[in-house]
Structure 1
């Protein structure tokens, strides 16, 4: 009986009926000289399957196997690629023999970002004080000396019933000239000159009233906000808007400043040798109203407070240590006003908290951002009268001052009438405790409190806050 390994029956060694020998071996075993060495195995034409393979093949012939799922073999072929995040997958990269080749990984953009962030954190850790200072300057927090902005306030529409709230006391500097002042939230410059709705009044139509209100606004801007005038220049634009009689009075006050003819009651001016405006922003708060004057004319009221941020001029320390200018008469030399309308004179380098002797003053084109500054507050109440042109010979395009009004200032040397305001700086205050004209004698008042009318007492008081 043949066995499974033999493809054909073995020879019978001549024992078949008839005595034939199909193998031609003459009764000799044909496998007697067969050597099963490596050469024989390599030259085999047929490779036999293992016993387990033949067993499984016989079983699966009647009962095919069931795929349990979750597992794949090398005979399953490549897996069917699905769509991921709506993108079509790229075909696999293979070598010339069909073997999968690993893809080159694209450079991850997050890696250099992590490196940069790590370096930034390390640098910040090495300079914590500088980081706090930068955060305080940009976001106003993290330090007791940080600048904290105040809420924005709209122009007045009526007389206030309460004083502005207190704010944290802070030392103002060139970088933050409004620190510690309620005026930081006030309108900037002419934004505060909100004109009321014009209406027909007396003999004037609504259109004429609107033109007169605009004329008043132009004058207030030229007299109180012009950088050339603030820098001590001649207020030509403001003078050109005045009627002849009032213009002559103002020109005489500029030429002969004295207690009774003080130009600062008309215009805001500073001596640049002593005080220089920081930037060109003036904080303003107040209101404009109008009414009929009883003679079929028009009366316009302007009540505004102006806050000027000033830094030391080149002679600030020297003037603080010496007597104040004479009370009246023309100063020895006038500072030249800038031609471009922007005050940019030579500055003074004064380190914070350090009183610099006069002999060590260093003129410079600008000052450091932490140089101490101060503020001068001026409240000016002015009445403008527009006469009936049918009854009076007037120029309808010129301003005439009415009765009443006046002005008062805070942080300006007392009893000095040379045509300029003279603010005092904290860094020089200890140098002139007994300088004449520097010590106030009147009561202490809040220059930001606009509930009351101007004081009629001829006294030089102190300011409760600047």
Structure 2
């Protein structure tokens, strides 16, 4: 659109001698009837310059502007190369620096995170099991519940990996998993040193009754029996000689029939604790709450006994020969292993030898409450009878409620029922 320049001065108004207007307007203003409406403004072909534009134009007619060299334009051509191989920053048409385009890295990261979240959602049980097996469960003391998780079909335990998909994988092995009170104090009639010795004696006994490799493999519990006082030893020996639902040796000792189940190794995963308290004038009472996890492979008669309604051993429990502990030939499917979880809550007493005829170096068992996970119900022969996935049993299914054998939140009460376990 053309721009109007500064107007020239108007010529002097010349009139005819007779006073007539040479333009023929007879002295009337030619713009009197002009209406500056919107249509007139839009149809204008000349645009008035701004005041600053007219000022700068008049100044630059005599003094042209000088380029200070502070900016560059895209019409200036390539600039001088910089040192160290760096290229000059790009500029826009007005000479301003244009930001460099950075590589977009967020999109691939978002895609990877989305895929990871989807995979975790599809296998949430496996993710929970992975965390628990590598970082351990929460505290096993009462008041800290552990979630019940379904067993994972993708992490089947084998001889090479017997603790796969088990919270016990991160547990300590053997007696190292039994927690003793720190800095025991004098209690009742016993000094702090005597209480510490009694705690160690109880730990040694439960280890002999549940962790001795020969005993677990089906041997006789001679070492554990020798640590009991006269009354407790007599009760345990009678149960071994005549096992019954009332006097079941499994309430005292953990053993497996080697013809049916063979320990994968001598390693047993353990988690638990021993506490003590005053027992009035009698002395000290000590309580235990310990969970033992055993990894087992099938024995030579595992398949046949799984098909039998009631497994039975060839000899009474009391005379089970140690020779049966020797390795036996493998059977089909022995690479598949299983686990049996035993939790025992026991109470022991140490009486004041000044008032009672007792041996201060022997353990007096007052109460034992066992709980077995993955052991045949209704079999009271002094052995535990695990079930293997490769040998589906024909025995009656458990009728009790489903429970997690690794859950140590609730205290054991009574003998309980034959429960269904959520995992092993």
Tell me if TM exceeds 0.5. yes
Q: 1:382 aligns with which of 339, 346, 366?
A: 346
The alignment status of 1:414 with 2:377, answered yes or no, reads yes
Q: 1:232 aligns with which of 187, 202, 218?
A: 218
Corresponding residue for residue 166 of structure 2: 181
Q: 1:268 aligns with which of 243, 247, 254?
A: 254
The alignment status of 1:398 with 2:362, answered yes or no, reads yes
Task: Give me the whole-angstrom Cα distance separating, in 1, the residues matched to 2:147 and 2:172.
Answer: 14
Task: Give me the whole-angstrom Cα distance separating, in 2, the residues matched to 1:155 and 1:294.
Answer: 34
Task: Give me the whole-angstrom Cα distance separating, in 1, the residues matched to 2:316 and 2:288.
Answer: 31
Structure 1, unmatched stretches of 5+, are 1-143, 352-366
After superposition, what is the alpha-carbon deviation per residue over 1:66-97, rounded to whole angstroms, capped at 9, x for unaligned? xxxxxxxxxxxxxxxxxxxxxxxxxxxxxxxx
Give the direction of change, closer, same or farther, for the CA distance of 1:158–1:325 in structure 2 (3 Å limit): closer
After superposition, what is the alpha-carbon deviation per residue over 1:159-206, rounded to whole angstroms, capped at 9, x for unaligned? 351115748722110001111111111111111122212211111111
After superposition, what is the alpha-carbon deviation per residue over 1:228-281, rounded to whole angstroms, capped at 9, x for unaligned? 110111111100100011101111111111100100000001000000001111
Task: Give me the whole-angstrom Cα distance separating, in 2, the residues matched to 1:333 and 1:406.
Answer: 22
Task: Give me the whole-angstrom Cα distance separating, in 1, the residues matched to 2:314 and 2:336.
Answer: 31
The alignment status of 1:447 with 2:411, answered yes or no, reads no
Q: 1:259 aligns with which of 227, 245, 252?
A: 245
Task: Give me the whole-angstrom Cα distance separating, in 2, the residues matched to 1:243 and 1:444.
Answer: 37
The alignment status of 1:192 with 2:177, answered yes or no, reads yes
Task: Give me the whole-angstrom Cα distance separating, in 1, the residues matched to 2:318 and 2:365.
Answer: 31
The alignment status of 1:161 with 2:158, answered yes or no, reads no
The alignment status of 1:205 with 2:205, answered yes or no, reads no
Task: Give me the whole-angstrom Cα distance separating, in 1, the residues matched to 2:322 and 2:138.
Answer: 30
Q: Secondary structure at the match of 1:219?
A: helix
Q: Name the Cα RMSD after superposition.
A: 2.6
TM-score (norm 1): 0.59
Q: Are 1:288 and 1:302, in contact at CA under 8 Å, matched by a contact in 2?
A: yes
Corresponding residue for residue 6 of structure 1: none
Deviation of 1:397 (Å) = 0.4
Give the direction of change, closer, same or farther, for the CA distance of 1:302–1:329 in structure 2 (3 Å limit): farther
Q: Are 1:172 and 1:178, in contact at CA under 8 Å, matched by a contact in 2?
A: yes
Q: Are 2:211 and 2:268, in contact at CA under 8 Å, matched by a contact in 1?
A: yes
Give the direction of change, closer, same or farther, for the CA distance of 1:233–1:152 in structure 2 (3 Å limit): farther
Give the direction of change, closer, same or farther, for the CA distance of 1:201–1:329 in structure 2 (3 Å limit): farther
Give the direction of change, closer, same or farther, for the CA distance of 1:210–1:279 in structure 2 (3 Å limit): same
Deviation of 1:294 (Å) = 1.5
Q: 1:308 aligns with which of 288, 294, 299?
A: 294
Give the direction of change, closer, same or farther, for the CA distance of 1:288–1:151 in structure 2 (3 Å limit): same
Structure 2, unmatched stretches of 5+, are 1-125
411-420 or 149-158, which moves further after superposition? 149-158
Task: Give me the whole-angstrom Cα distance separating, in 1, the residues matched to 2:411 and 2:314.
Answer: 31
TM-score (norm 2): 0.64
Q: Secondary structure at the match of 2:390?
A: helix
Corresponding residue for residue 427 of structure 1: 390
Q: Secondary structure at the match of 1:286?
A: strand
Give the direction of change, closer, same or farther, for the CA distance of 1:451–1:275 in structure 2 (3 Å limit): same
The alignment status of 1:348 with 2:330, answered yes or no, reads yes
Alignment of 1:93-132 (within 5 A): none
After superposition, what is the alpha-carbon deviation per residue over 1:293-331, rounded to whole angstroms, capped at 9, x for unaligned? 1225111111101111110000001111223236x9964
Task: Give me the whole-angstrom Cα distance separating, in 1, the residues matched to 2:226 and 2:365.
Answer: 14
Corresponding residue for residue 74 of structure 1: none
Aligned length: 293
After superposition, what is the alpha-carbon deviation per residue over 1:354-394, rounded to whole angstroms, capped at 9, x for unaligned? xxxxxxxxxxxxx6xxx101011111011110111111111
Task: Give me the whole-angstrom Cα distance separating, in 2, the residues matched to 1:333 and 1:313.
Answer: 21
Task: Give me the whole-angstrom Cα distance separating, in 2, the residues matched to 1:396 and 1:389.
Answer: 7
Corresponding residue for residue 11 of structure 1: none
Task: Give me the whole-angstrom Cα distance separating, in 2, the residues matched to 1:275 and 1:329.
Answer: 15
Task: Give me the whole-angstrom Cα distance separating, in 1, the residues matched to 2:138 and 2:201.
Answer: 19
Corresponding residue for residue 373 of structure 1: 337
Give the direction of change, closer, same or farther, for the CA distance of 1:337–1:152 in structure 2 (3 Å limit): farther
Task: Give me the whole-angstrom Cα distance separating, in 1, the residues matched to 2:314 and 2:376.
Answer: 16
Task: Give me the whole-angstrom Cα distance separating, in 1, the residues matched to 2:140 and 2:415.
Answer: 28
Corresponding residue for residue 56 of structure 1: none
Q: Are 1:330 and 1:418, in contact at CA under 8 Å, matched by a contact in 2?
A: no
Q: Secondary structure at the match of 1:295?
A: helix
Q: Are 1:154 and 1:187, in contact at CA under 8 Å, matched by a contact in 2?
A: no
